A and B are shown apart, each in its own frame.
Chain A
């Protein structure tokens, strides 16, 4: 009985942890970027203030908007949140892992993306539709890479469950050739999926080059808060997958409290470092032209495909 109580506590803890830590990492990235631009930048708690402020505000909805526009923020937020709960962050064996595996996570993110795209079209502004069409182009390129990469991980672990995949990384210990190829591929995908610099610019509302911001341009108040929060959750989720699959150190293998504490500290540090790295990379390179994006993601696809070949021929 006590064991069950502990399981429930850890499950709720995981949900609260991803929910509450997500805005922190986006604020951290903003802070690092500000540092590169010789500014102080907003504080690390700014992400929470923004969401709190927006949640209190009323939403302004166009009179031409249909139910799609109104339900989208809730669908996007809940789908991303469930996906984030499935991915193990501080402990390998999660009580919430029973909800689904890696494939479910991809489909949940796909559902969120689909709703964001049709909501962009819904109000009939040309800007939103442009963003939707670009987003669909990028995601149709990025999804095969994610799938191929997950197949490699699943083939190595013999399971599509994230717990199994991370256990495999923990057991093998040394760096494997296939994983060496997958790491840059997943990093490119994380950047493309969350709309960060070489693919999209999250900091602007003015340029014609923007993708994600163009789709959500019409959202205000509490709807905007949910969408922004979902964006932060998605970023945290992808970085958590990368951190735990490629650098599984520190993750709690049992459900004892000290191990869980170390696990929470380790995942915060790992995701924080990855976020700082991506923000630094963002500050140093320029955004790609839209028609050069397929080359970047094509490169990621080749890396994932080579990892698959290497894995299936049994070399690495």
Chain B
């Protein structure tokens, strides 16, 4: 538990901004825009990580913040945008339900997240906010995977979900042990590499990244 704290107000605002960006991803359909929003989302996450590092006065949390910037803000969006621009497909995803319905589901999930955070950490202002935001963002990521038909957006959903988990972990522990953090980043890098291969392969085989077309592969 973090005892000493800088700028609870600032953390509250950052938390709300992270939430708004996660919601924006839910409303967007274009691949490039979604990836840009994901990069901004990760940047805010890095700022929150750095503030937490300052609060717990721990060097390796700063390392995690820098690693977040390098991997999630620069590297992953760059390779994904490059991959998407080479694909000759419709650069827009389709949803299983319409956008207002997905927003209403998001409101329900947000209430659930708020309730869960209340049960875990009652009444501690910045922690409760950040925990709510963390849980909500991971659920929004899941929603992206479930509702979108397109593999590119589903990958972004997975990455968003991971951002949410990272935030929850960061807030609950005040910075995980160094080797755990290295493991997480390695995991993310490897996952996105695998998904990159998966998207390329899918695009090559089906000339589309729509997962509904996957059943064409049946022999």
| Contacts from A to B (Cβ < 8 Å) | 174-175, 177, 180-181, 294-295, 298-299, 301-303, 305-306, 309-310, 313-316
Check if A309 sits within 8 Å of B111, measured CB to CB: yes
| B20 touches A (CB below 8 Å) | yes
Check if B128 sits within 8 Å of A315, measured CB to CB: yes
Q: How near does chain B come to A58, taking the closest CB pair, in angstroms?
A: 46
Check if A299 sits within 8 Å of B16, measured CB to CB: no
List chain A residues, Cβ under 8 A from B114.
309, 313, 315
Check if A302 sits within 8 Å of B12, measured CB to CB: no
Check if B110 sits within 8 Å of A306, measured CB to CB: yes
| Given A315-B128, A315-B129, A316-B129: A177 in contact with B103 (beta carbons within 8 A) | no
Given contacts A177-B16, A306-B23, 9 further A-B contacts (CB under 8 A): A175-B13, A299-B23, A301-B103, A302-B23, A302-B106, A303-B23, A309-B107, A309-B114, A315-B114
Check if B118 sits within 8 Å of A313, measured CB to CB: yes
Check if B107 sits within 8 Å of A302, measured CB to CB: yes
Q: Which residue of B lies closest to A307 (CB)?
A: B16
Q: How near does chain B come to A222, taking the closest CB pair, in angstroms?
A: 41
Check if A315 sits within 8 Å of B132, measured CB to CB: yes
| B153 touches A (CB below 8 Å) | no
Check if B12 sits within 8 Å of A316, measured CB to CB: yes
Check if A295 sits within 8 Å of B99, measured CB to CB: yes
| Given A177-B15, A177-B129, A180-B13: A306 in contact with B107 (beta carbons within 8 A) | yes
| Total contacts A-B at CB 8 Å | 61
In the bound complex, what is the Cα–Cα distance between A139 and B96 (angstroms)? 27
| Given A295-B27, A298-B99: A180 in contact with B110 (beta carbons within 8 A) | no
In the bound complex, what is the Cα–Cα distance between A299 and B101 (angstroms)? 11
Q: Which residue of A lies closest to B24 (CB)?
A: A299
| Given A177-B12, A180-B17, A313-B118: A298 in contact with B132 (beta carbons within 8 A) | no
List chain B residues, Cβ under 8 A from A314.
123
* Interface residue ranges of B84-129 to A (CB < 8 Å): 98-100, 103, 106-107, 110-111, 114, 118, 123, 125, 128-129
List chain B residues, Cβ under 8 A from A316.
12, 16, 129
Q: Which residue of A lies closest to B102 (CB)?
A: A298
List chain B residues, Cβ under 8 A from A175.
13
Check if A299 sits within 8 Å of B103, measured CB to CB: yes
Q: Which residue of B lies closest to A291 (CB)?
A: B98
List chain B residues, Cβ under 8 A from A309.
107, 110-111, 114
Tell me what chain A mostly uses at the interface: helix, strand, loop, or mixed: helix
In the bound complex, what is the Cα–Cα distance between A316 and B12 (angstroms)? 7
Q: How near does chain B come to A173, taking the closest CB pair, in angstroms?
A: 10
List chain A residues, Cβ under 8 A from B132.
313, 315
How big is chain B's contact interface, by range?
Answer: 20 to 34
Q: Which residue of B lies closest to A294 (CB)?
A: B100
Q: Which 7 pairs show the lowest CB-CB distances between chains A and B?
A: A298-B100, A177-B16, A295-B99, A302-B103, A315-B129, A298-B103, A177-B12
Q: Which residue of B lies closest to A297 (CB)?
A: B100
Check if B12 sits within 8 Å of A299, measured CB to CB: no
Contact of A181 among B16, B100, B123 (CB under 8 A): B16
List chain A residues, Cβ under 8 A from B43.
none
21 contacts between A and B (CB under 8 A): A175-B13, A177-B12, A177-B16, A180-B17, A180-B20, A294-B99, A295-B27, A295-B99, A299-B23, A299-B27, A299-B103, A302-B103, A302-B106, A305-B107, A306-B19, A306-B23, A309-B110, A309-B114, A313-B118, A315-B12, A315-B114
Q: Which residue of A lies closest to B14 (CB)?
A: A177
| B173 touches A (CB below 8 Å) | no
In the bound complex, what is the Cα–Cα distance between A302 and B27 (angstroms)? 11
| Given A181-B16, A181-B20: A315 in contact with B125 (beta carbons within 8 A) | yes
| B9 touches A (CB below 8 Å) | yes
Residue-by-residue, is B8-37 near A (CB-CB < 8 Å gives 1, otherwise 0)? 010011011101100100010000000000
List chain B residues, Cβ under 8 A from A305.
107, 110
Q: How near does chain B come to A313, taking the closest CB pair, in angstroms?
A: 5
List chain A residues, Cβ under 8 A from B9.
174
List chain A residues, Cβ under 8 A from B23.
299, 302-303, 306
* Interface residue ranges of B124-158 to A (CB < 8 Å): 125, 128-129, 132
In the bound complex, what is the Cα–Cα distance between A91 and B125 (angstroms)? 34
List chain B residues, Cβ under 8 A from A306.
19, 23, 107, 110
In the bound complex, what is the Cα–Cα distance between A316 and B128 (angstroms)? 10
| Given A298-B103, A313-B118, A316-B129: A180 in contact with B16 (beta carbons within 8 A) | yes
Q: How near does chain A come to B110, taking the closest CB pair, in angstroms?
A: 6
Q: How near does chain B come to A163, taking the closest CB pair, in angstroms?
A: 26
Q: How near does chain B come to A298, taking the closest CB pair, in angstroms?
A: 4
Contact of A310 among B16, B98, B123 (CB under 8 A): B16
Q: Which residue of A lies closest to B129 (CB)?
A: A315
In the bound complex, what is the Cα–Cα distance between A299 and B29 (angstroms)? 14
* Interface residue ranges of B17-71 to A (CB < 8 Å): 17, 19-20, 23, 27
| Of listed B12, B15, B111, B125, residue having the most chain A CB within 10 A | B12
